[in-house]
Structure 1
Amino acid sequence: MNRDDVDWQGYFPAFVTPFTETGELDLDTLRALVDHYVAEGMHGIVVNGTCGEWFSQEPDERRAVAETAVKQAAGRMRVLVGCTAYTAKETAGFARHALAAGADGVLASPPPYAKLFPDEVIAFYEDINAAIDGPLAVYNWPHGSGVDIGPELADKLADIGQIVAIKDSTPDADQFFETSRRVRDRVRVFGPYMTARGIDVLRTEGGDGTVGGGSLHGSPDPRFWESVWRGEFEAPAAHAEAGDRLFPKLWLPGGWAGKFGAYQSQLKVLMKMLGQPAGHVRRPRLPVTDPASLETMRGVLVEEGLLPLAAKP
């Protein structure tokens, strides 16, 4: 398989997993969030990734999230399911389940904590590849895995049978764009193209899409890509500038955490401020409750035109 065996492109929100305030899985809110993203025109979603708090779910819950998201999407947008785990065998088990449930593909990072060497990363994905039958995306998440998949290693992974894409969340922009140049002939590349620098790359070299933490902007995110596909760059450039302004006001450099709380905790607060279905976080994540932090976040949304000035908590 290669990039031509899938049609993945555009904006895919990294899907949060909603929990109740007491920590139970909230599938009703999950379904509502799927419908919200469909209504906003998203091209796909990625469930049970970092934003999806896979690390705090039991295996049966991970399978329930995957099944529910796929069923609710009902072919209206692509659904990719995160299957990261500590071993290739466990990862492949989640992947086989997701594909059998109707997911369009699966993705996985190198296993957390182990900090694999390059040859071990290759062997890890080869083992997954041998154990599943369906499209697989590499997820480069250095903050979680302790491994930063650079251009040379990505180049080797791109030749593994069923790997068709890479979701590259390296904090190193230079590295990302070099990886994109190295592997886009074989796999689809999702990453920070929706920036002022990314616009220049899209004009000259192209790019496939972005997997962002939710979608605070809503429909302008998929419209960015639809304009690019038409060869229109004025509106995408303006949207990229808005994103470049917003990001440093809310997130730490590299995008691994919020300024006011853990990534998932802060994202869910922001989503709820915007009226989006989000639910609560589950321990070990803690909610953002500090009044000053909440007021500052709300002020950023107002300042950037995402929330009316008159909006109340």
Structure 2
Amino acid sequence: MSSFAFSGLNLAITAPFDPNGRIDFNRFQELIERYLAAGVDGIVFSSGTGMHVYLSPDESRSLIERGARIVAGRAKVIAQASALLTADVVARTRFAKDSGADGVMILPPFFEGPSDDNSVFDFYAEVAKVGLPIIGYNVPQAVGVRITPDLLRRLCELPEFRAVKDSSGDLIGQVRLIGTGLDVINGADPLVPFSLFAGCSGLIWGGANIAPRTCVAIVKAAREKRWDDVQSLWRLLEPIMSLLWDGDYVPSVYAAAELTGYGCGHARKPFRPLSTDRIAALRKALGALVEQEAVR
């Protein structure tokens, strides 16, 4: 993972909210500093875990601009620039570039958009004209567009298209993408150790908001090929990462982060507060991570 610009652990950071549902920018800065201190390699602002689709354009821009300014070159900065209109994606990408982001993460056309390879290629080619590195996004279960190995090879002919983030949860499919020899970023939390062993180029990890020290440690162990340590660390992480993936992902990340001391408020509407049973399940799945990640 060493030669790739976005190698290592890129944290898909939450957007913290105050009790009135507004972005808490003071808390935002505190969290960024704590995650940097934990050793993350990059931070994704306005990510899916950061509630991108439930932020206004101004809120998204504020998170990206302020986030890049706070990070100030201490880690890579990736901005989510996804939108329905191609012109909006281009504008968001240009804003990210002007704000100092190192790259953008962009969904292919979605919500009944074109799914043929030519249209997907044309879309990314249009955005690539901005001149900022692009990470594509493979999440076919949500978007309806699958980035296949053949399409990835074609997209990577664009100078600015650097990698695809694979959040499909399909390990076999991801291994086939990795088999192209091109850069693939794992975005499915339960696949982390398997993706690292298979040779993924990096991670974009929402669940790392909950346990950044442990998540950084597992990536470091994989870099050093200490696979016994990877396995031991994964035993701690697997219960919570698998539970998150079962459903209610975003509000569960928010709730679990509260339990480990990385509180960011509650997920914004339309998400409802989690049930007491779900909170209890999260607490149980966290196990020793609560103490291990406690604020020191």
Shared fold (TM-score, shorter chain, > 0.5) = yes
Q: Cα–Cα, structure 1 residues 241 and 87, in superposed 2: closer, same or farther, change >3 Å?
A: same
Aligned equivalent of 1:197: 194
Q: Cα–Cα, structure 1 residues 198 and 135, in superposed 2: closer, same or farther, change >3 Å?
A: closer
Between Structure 1 and Structure 2, how many residues are aligned? Answer: 289
Aligned equivalent of 1:210: 203
Q: Does 1:233 align with 2:227?
A: yes
What secondary structure does 1:307 align onto?
helix
What secondary structure does 1:99 align onto?
helix
Q: Does 1:274 align with 2:260?
A: yes
CA distance in 1, matches of 2:256, 2:165: 23
Aligned equivalent of 1:33: 31
Q: Which amino acid letter does the alignment assign opposite residue 291 of structure 1? A: T
CA distance in 1, matches of 2:16, 2:140: 25
Aligned equivalent of 1:243: 237
Aligned equivalent of 1:283: 269
CA distance in 1, matches of 2:57, 2:10: 24
Query: Deviation string for 1:181-215 (max 9, x for gaps)?
Result: 1142xx353445964533542xxxx3321111141
Q: Cα–Cα, structure 1 residues 277 and 248, in superposed 2: closer, same or farther, change >3 Å?
A: closer
Give the gaps of 5 or more residues in structure 2: none
Q: Cα–Cα, structure 1 residues 150 and 243, in superposed 2: closer, same or farther, change >3 Å?
A: farther
Query: Deviation string for 1:18-48 (max 9, x for gaps)?
Result: 1222221221111111111111111111111
What secondary structure does 2:20 align onto?
coil
Q: Cα–Cα, structure 1 residues 175 and 293, in superposed 2: closer, same or farther, change >3 Å?
A: same
Larger mean CA deviation between 9-18 and 223-232 belongs to 223-232
Matches within 5 A, 1:1-313: 7-117=5-115, 118-130=117-129, 132-184=130-182, 187=183, 189-191=185-187, 195-201=192-198, 206-215=199-208, 216-252=210-246, 258=247, 262-288=248-274, 290-302=275-287, 305-308=288-291
Query: Deviation string for 1:240-265 (max 9, x for gaps)?
Result: 3443443333431xxxxx3xxx3211
Q: Cα–Cα, structure 1 residues 59 and 195, in superposed 2: closer, same or farther, change >3 Å?
A: closer
Cα displacement (A) at 1:95: 0.9
What secondary structure does 1:42 align onto?
coil
Give the gaps of 5 or more residues in structure 1: 253-257
CA distance in 1, matches of 2:150, 2:216: 30
Q: Cα–Cα, structure 1 residues 296 and 227, in superposed 2: closer, same or farther, change >3 Å?
A: closer
CA distance in 1, matches of 2:279, 2:184: 37
Query: Deviation string for 1:134-190 (max 9, x for gaps)?
Result: 211112222332212122222211211211121111122101110011142xx3534
CA distance in 1, matches of 2:193, 2:160: 32
Contact kept, 8 Å, 1:30 with 1:277, in 2: the verdict is: no
Q: Which TM-score applies when normalising by structure 2?
A: 0.89
Q: Which amino acid letter does the alignment assign opposite residue 263 of structure 2? A: P
Contact kept, 8 Å, 2:32 with 2:71, in 1: the verdict is: yes
Larger mean CA deviation between 94-103 and 188-197 belongs to 188-197
Contact kept, 8 Å, 1:195 with 1:244, in 2: the verdict is: no
Contact kept, 8 Å, 1:17 with 1:53, in 2: the verdict is: yes
Cα displacement (A) at 1:62: 1.0
Q: Cα–Cα, structure 1 residues 291 and 246, in superposed 2: closer, same or farther, change >3 Å?
A: closer
Q: Cα–Cα, structure 1 residues 96 and 250, in superposed 2: closer, same or farther, change >3 Å?
A: closer
Q: After TM superposition, what 4+ stretches of structure 1 lie above 3 angstroms from structure 2? A: 187-200, 240-246
Q: Which amino acid letter does the alignment assign opposite residue 283 of structure 1? A: K
CA distance in 1, matches of 2:192, 2:58: 38
Cα displacement (A) at 1:99: 1.2
Q: Which amino acid letter does the alignment assign opposite residue 202 of structure 2? A: G
- Percent identity over the alignment is 24
Q: Which amino acid letter does the alignment assign opposite residue 53 of structure 1? A: M
Cα displacement (A) at 1:233: 2.4
Contact kept, 8 Å, 2:27 with 2:264, in 1: the verdict is: yes
CA distance in 2, matches of 1:81, 1:30: 15
CA RMSD of aligned residues (A): 2.3
Q: Which amino acid letter does the alignment assign opposite residue 222 of structure 1? A: V
Q: Which TM-score applies when normalising by structure 1?
A: 0.85
